[in-house]
């Protein structure tokens, strides 16, 4: 299935997983959301979530499939604004990590990237591998290799700078494959705890010859471990929902991560009420032939998810009960 078919996997995740979360967050905050992300040229996710959005900050670059992708997206967002379906929008041309880290986009008339409001919905649907670096010019005019997690770090740094940056949701979609220096370094035995090294070894032994299933579990470990450290380093308590494994365009295996964050004032280390070991032992959420979200695993020792209901998972969590309910929007 493809993203753009009527019953595409992406659309099912958008409708049955993400939309209930946004409705829940909208109610929690008492106002509509500020979206920052990577919509398609048709702005499909923005269109699906218009009831919950007040402003859109979008990044887009042209590619072989969509040579006029930026122009298409810009016109679509302009239409939403003119029809008063959103209050405002900003569209930046270029790779998101390049625009954010350089502070300027690749338009013929470049525009500066600045955030003056708290982002309450991140939707980072990366079209290439999460570890593929891109070269940018630093403040000294030198070329530097930067990764997508460098952009995530920058975004969370900006988010943390706002005094009222309390509650938000963070969607991240990546290829199930992995390559590149950043992940290679992570997989070096010297950089892993014994538990992580044992987990990777066991996965490779149990799933020998099943590359996608191996990759999915190693990338899940890498992303959750990296994101949890980034969230905590900027004072956000993360709540990770189960990871979704599904098929994208041309049956490309993709992973979607969902994190809800809340800012806390802490004199020491920012708390985290989950365990990495528990998260990587969960079954994946996936999509069955009836187009329902279910949990599934090819390994007998992975833990079942009692109810594939994103809002229920959030609202019943210790993170929600201890922090979200006690902190105003």
Pairing of strands 236-240, 88-93: unpaired
Under the banding of pLDDT at 50, 70 and 90, the label for residue 252 is: confident
Instruction: State the pLDDT at residue 181.
Output: 66
| 9-24 pLDDT, tens digit each | 999 999 999 999 999 9
Q: Considering just the CA atoms, what is the radius of gyration of the chain in Å? A: 19
Mean pLDDT in the chain?
89
Instruction: State the pLDDT at residue 6.
Output: 40
Rounded to an integer, the average pLDDT of 81-108 is 92
More confident position, 1 or 102: 102
Rounded to an integer, the average pLDDT of 53-74 is 89
* Rounded Cα–Cα distance for residues 170 and 87 (Å): 22
Tokens 């943390």 sit on residue: 160
Residue 189 has pLDDT above 80, yes or no: no
* Rounded Cα–Cα distance for residues 12 and 119 (Å): 24
Residue 7 has pLDDT above 60, yes or no: no
Residue pair 271/248 in contact (Cβ under 8 Å)? The answer is no
CA 324 remoteness from chain centre: 20
Rounded to an integer, the average pLDDT of 201-205 is 92
Rounded to an integer, the average pLDDT of 140-147 is 78
- CA-based nearest residue to 180, from 216, 222, 144, 133: 133
Question: Rounded to 5 degrees, what are φ and ψ at 122?
Answer: -100, 130
| 27-56 pLDDT, tens digit each | 999 999 999 999 999 999 999 999 999 999
Instruction: State the pLDDT at residue 241.
Output: 98
Instruction: State the pLDDT at residue 273.
Output: 96
Residue pair 244/205 in contact (Cβ under 8 Å)? The answer is no
Instruction: State the pLDDT at residue 164.
Output: 79
Domain extent listing, the chain? 9-326
Architecture of domain 9-326: 3-Layer(aba) Sandwich (3.40)
The percentage of the chain sitting over the pLDDT mark of 90, rounded to a whole number, equals 65
| 213-227 pLDDT, tens digit each | 999 999 999 999 999
Rounded to an integer, the average pLDDT of 206-214 is 92
Rounded to an integer, the average pLDDT of 153-169 is 92
Rounded to an integer, the average pLDDT of 276-291 is 95
Instruction: State the pLDDT at residue 3.
Output: 35
Terminal-residue alpha carbon distance, the chain: 38
Under the banding of pLDDT at 50, 70 and 90, the label for residue 195 is: confident
Rounded to an integer, the average pLDDT of 141-161 is 88
Residue 127 has pLDDT above 60, yes or no: no
Rounded to an integer, the average pLDDT of 287-298 is 92
Instruction: State the pLDDT at residue 48.
Output: 96
Instruction: State the pLDDT at residue 70.
Output: 93
């Amino acid at each position: 299935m493809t993203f753009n078919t009527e019953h595409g996997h992406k659309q099912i995740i958008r409708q049955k997983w993400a939309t209930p979360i946004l409705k829940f967050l909208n109610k929690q905050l008492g106002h509509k959301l500020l979206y920052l992300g990577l919509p398609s040229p048709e702005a499909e996710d923005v269109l699906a979530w218009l009831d919950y959005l007040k402003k859109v900050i979008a990044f887009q670059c042209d590619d072989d499939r969509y040579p006029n992708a930026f122009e298409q997206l810009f016109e679509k967002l302009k239409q939403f604004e003119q029809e008063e379906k959103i209050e405002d929008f900003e569209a930046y041309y270029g790779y998101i990590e390049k625009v954010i880290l350089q502070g300027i986009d690749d338009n013929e008339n470049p525009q500066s990237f600045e955030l003056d409001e708290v982002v309450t919905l991140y939707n980072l649907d990366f079209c290439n591998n999460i570890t593929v670096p891109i070269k940018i010019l630093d403040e000294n005019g030198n070329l530097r290799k930067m990764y997508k997690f460098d952009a995530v770090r920058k975004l969370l740094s900006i988010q943390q700078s706002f005094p009222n940056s309390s509650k938000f949701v963070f969607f991240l979609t990546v290829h199930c494959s992995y390559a590149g220096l950043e992940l290679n370094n992570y997989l070096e035995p010297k950089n892993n705890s014994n538990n992580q090294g044992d987990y990777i070894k066991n996965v490779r032994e149990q799933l020998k010859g099943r590359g996608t299933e191996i990759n999915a579990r190693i990338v899940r470990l890498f992303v959750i471990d990296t994101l949890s450290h980034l969230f905590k380093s900027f004072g956000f308590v993360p709540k990770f929902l189960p990871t979704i494994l599904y098929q994208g365009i041309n049956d490309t295996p993709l992973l979607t991560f969902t994190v809800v964050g809340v800012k806390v004032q802490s004199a020491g280390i920012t708390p985290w009420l989950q365990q990495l070991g528990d998260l990587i032992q969960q079954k994946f959420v996936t999509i069955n032939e009836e187009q329902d979200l279910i949990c599934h695993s090819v390994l007998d020792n992975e833990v079942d998810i009692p109810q594939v209901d994103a809002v229920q998972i959030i609202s019943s969590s210790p993170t929600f009960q201890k922090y979200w309910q006690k902190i105003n929007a």
